[in-house]
Amino acid sequence: MNEPILQSIQSYARRFREPAPRRERPLSAHLRALEAESMHIMREVAAEFSNPVMLYSIGKDSAVMLHLALKAFYPSLPPFPLQHVDSTFKFRDMISFRDTIASELGLEMRVEINEEGRARGINPFDHGSQVHTQVMKTEALRNAMTRHGYDAAFGGARRDEEKARAKERIFSFRDANHSWDPKNQRPELWHNYNTKIRKGESIRVFPLSNWTELDVWQYILEDEIPIVPLYFAARRPVVERDGQLIMVDDERLPLRPGETPDHRMIRFRTLGCYPLTGAIESEAQTLEDIVLEMLTARTSERSGRLIDHDESGSMEKKKREGYF
C-alpha cells in the first residue's frame, strides 16, 4: 500500500474515535437526508436480525455504505462483520485497500473464494464472463451466505443503476435458495420495514437504494471518504478490446495476437474483476475533477461492466439466480 493512501486511511480511522471532532462544513441538505435514511435502515437491521453482514465489494458504493455504518452505530463499531467475495480477478489495488481499511478500522473482514472454482481454474478468458461470474461470484456468495448462516446482508446497489433495480425493495426478501421473486415482493411503505423471516430465509438490504451515482460522488467529496486509487486518473497499462479499455493488472491477462499494452491516462467509474471492467480515458485526478466529469458524462456507469450487456433483461435474470 502506498504511503499517502495508508495515511489517509489512518486519519480516516481516527475520525471515529470518541469524542468525534466537530464537522466544520455542513453537508448538503439532500445528502444529509439520504444519510439519515440510510443510517435508520442499518440500525433496523442490526436491531432485528441475529446474524447480519455487510457485503463489501471495495468499490465507491461500498466505501459509502461502510462510512454510513460507522456513523450509524458511532461510538460503537458496526455490530456486524464485512464479507468480501473474492473472484481472484480483482485489481491488486483493491485487495490491498480492503485489507488496510479493515485493519485500521478494527473491523472483521471475511473473504470468500470459491475454492472449487479456483481448483478448476475458472477464469473469464477461457470460460467467458458468464461462467466466471456465475461460479466465482454468484456461487461464492451463496456459499458464504450458507456457510455463515447470515440472515441479513447489506448490499450497495442503487435504484438508479439499472431498470430491474428501480423496482427492488430496500428490504428484499430471499427464499432459502437465496433467490429473488420480483413478482412476489413485499409492499414497503413509509420507513416501516417488515423484517420477519423464517429460518433459512434471508433478507438483502440496500441502504443506498435512493442514492444516485452523483450523490455517491458528492458525498465522498463532501465527507472526505477514502476510496481505491483506481478511481483517479493515472498512467496505466491497457489494451483496447471490443471497444473497451482493459487494464493489464497482472500477467494472467492473455494478450491476443498483435496486442501490446499501451500506457494511457485512464481511470475507472466502477470496479469489478479487472478483465471485465472497462476503463475510461480521463484526466480526472481529484474528486472535484471526477464530479465535473460526471456532470458532463454521456454514458451510464454500468456501460463499463461487460456482464450487463448480453441482453437488457440480463440483470433481472442474474438477480433471480442470486447475484447481488
Of 222-251, binders to other proteins (CB under 8 A) are none
Query: At which residue does the C-alpha cell 448538503 appear?
Result: 28
DSSP label of 160 = T
96 vs 210, beta carbon nearer other proteins? 210
1 vs 214, beta carbon nearer other proteins? 214
- Rounded to a whole number of angstroms, the minimum distance from the CB of residue 122 to other proteins is 28
Angle, CA of 265, 266 and 268, to the nearest 5°: 165
Q: Is the dihedral of CA 317, 315, 133, 260 positive or negative?
A: positive
Nearest to 105 by CA among 22, 15, 18, 223: 15
61 vs 162, beta carbon nearer other proteins? 162
Q: Output the CA–CA distances (angstroms, integers) from residue 305 to 232, 274, 308, in the order listed.
A: 18, 10, 6
Give CA–CA dist 125/132, Å, rounded. 9
Beta bridge partners of 311: none
Query: Binding string to other proteins for residues 106 to 125, with x set by CB under 8 A, is what?
Result: --------------------
Query: Binders of other proteins among 123-162, rule CB under 8 A?
Result: 159-160, 162
H/E stretch holding 230 reads none
DSSP-based three-state secondary structure for 250: coil
- Rounded to a whole number of angstroms, the minimum distance from the CB of residue 58 to other proteins is 22
- Rounded to a whole number of angstroms, the minimum distance from the CB of residue 121 to other proteins is 33
Regarding 14 and contact with other proteins (CB under 8 A), the answer is no
Give CA–CA dist 52/54, Å, rounded. 7
Please identify, among the stretches 87-95, 180-188, 242-250, 252-260, the one whose residues bind other proteins according to the rule CB under 8 A.
180-188
Query: Binders of other proteins among 263-322, rule CB under 8 A?
Result: 286, 288-289, 291-292, 295-300, 303, 312-313, 316
Any residues with CB less than 8 A from the CB of 194 and at least 6 apart, and which?
A: 171, 186, 188
The binder of other proteins chosen from 5, 82, 141, 197 (CB under 8 A): 197
The binder of other proteins chosen from 1, 47, 176, 255 (CB under 8 A): 47
**Binding-residue total with other proteins (CB under 8 A):** 73
The binder of other proteins chosen from 7, 14, 36, 200 (CB under 8 A): 36
Regarding 167 and contact with other proteins (CB under 8 A), the answer is yes
DSSP-based three-state secondary structure for 33: helix
Give CA–CA dist 109/68, Å, rounded. 17
- Rounded to a whole number of angstroms, the minimum distance from the CB of residue 230 to other proteins is 21
42 vs 273, beta carbon nearer other proteins? 42
